Structure 1
Amino acid sequence: MALSASNASAQAIWKWRDRDGHLQVSDRAPPVDVPDKDILQRPGAARGVTVSASAPLDAGTDALIPAPGASAPSTDRELEARKRKLLADQAAQKQAKESADKERTASVKAENCRRARNQLKTLESGVRISRPNEQGEREVLDDQGREQETQRARDLVNSNCN
């Protein structure tokens, strides 16, 4: 009875290599774009089986009978250890990516803060500022335009520097 329970769990394992060459292990079938040559194990295939000339065939099926000394439990432990290592590696990669994204966002925000502060300092200094209009001509900011630009620069400083 114990053997039938272990065979039932063993029958639900698929192993294949993805297009990048990484070994994939799952209880679900691989995607349809995986060629048959890359599928290493299908459900129902015997696990922990060694192929040798002395390994007889079962008369009723084409499945190999495990050779003496082949132990499914050690294979299970090795497989579980590989799964845990793969999951840990994936979690570490995800965390590193998130950390790099946070650093990049913080760097962009700091640069935006620096630029907004410089713009605000220039606007508050009273120096004449010109900008191109819709026709591409230079126009000097009047008091109202300067006040609008100053307020916009203050809003940028508040949103990027806090």
Structure 2
Amino acid sequence: MRRANLFVISLLVALPAAAEIYQWRDAQGRVHYSDTPPAGENATTLRPAAPPAVQPDAVEQAGKDVSAATEVDRTATEAARPKTLAERELEFRQRRAAAAEARAKAEQERQRSTERQRDCEQARNQLTALESGQRLARFNRDGEREVLDDAGRVDELARTQKFVESACR
């Protein structure tokens, strides 16, 4: 009997702990606290009511049908439970791999950009040399040096201009 009384008393003591607590000032400026909001007063909620505790085993113990609703409850409980060390480690490794991939992609893009700028600069320099009228020579397939004549200069000038237009956007 004594245990039952102690159990009932502990339940009664625990009930107010889950209630909302309101704070307000009266006309004289005194601060009041209550578990019910005052009528006609602007009260501030200090602590919202705690959601009722749900035990997932209670549904199975009651012998109810474990259906889609229970599956949703299990999914919600799994999402709410703290992650294990292995799960956190896996997420960390995935984030680190994604960051490394992004860095590598950015480095490749930077190298491509640098290469395009270098090619553009070389093509512009060659175009300037072609337009200046100075004598230009290049090596043929046999490795012999051959001087460009006027027709070769015009062809090379047109080819270089097209390359500058495409490489220097």
Give the structure-1-normalised TM-score: 0.52
Q: How does 1:32-111 map to 2 (within 5 A)?
A: 77-111=84-118
Instruction: Give the corresponding residue for 2:123.
Output: 116
Determine helix, strand or coil for the equivalent of 2:146.
strand
How many residue pairs match? The answer is 91
Compare the two structures and name the one with the higher helix fraction.
2
Larger RCO of the pair (alpha carbons < 8 Å, separation 6+): 1
Tell me, which stretches of 5 or more residues in structure 2 are unaligned? 1-56, 58-80
> Superposition RMSD on alpha carbons, in Å?
1.9
Instruction: Name the aligned partner's letter for residue 136 of structure 2.
Output: I
1:133 aligns with 2:124: no
Indicate the structure (1 or 2) with the bigger Cα radius of gyration.
2
1:83–1:139: structure 2 CA closer, same or farther, 3 Å change rule?
same
Match of 2:50 in 1: none
Q: How far has the Cα of 1:115 moved from its partner?
A: 0.2
Quote how far apart the aligned CAs of 1:134 are.
Answer: 3.2
Deviation at 1:149, TM superposition (A): 0.8
- 1:156 maps to which residue? 163
Mark the runs of 5 or more structure 1 residues left unpaired by the alignment. 3-72
Alignment partners' CA distance in 1, 2:100 and 2:107: 10
Equivalent residues in 2 for 1:1-16, closer than 5 Å: none
For 1:11-63, what per-residue CA distance to the aligned partner results, in whole angstroms no more than 9, with x for missing partners? xxxxxxxxxxxxxxxxxxxxxxxxxxxxxxxxxxxxxxxxxxxxxxxxxxxxx
State TM-score, norm by structure 2: 0.50
- Paired letter, 1:130: A
Which position in structure 2 is the counterpart of 1:144? 151
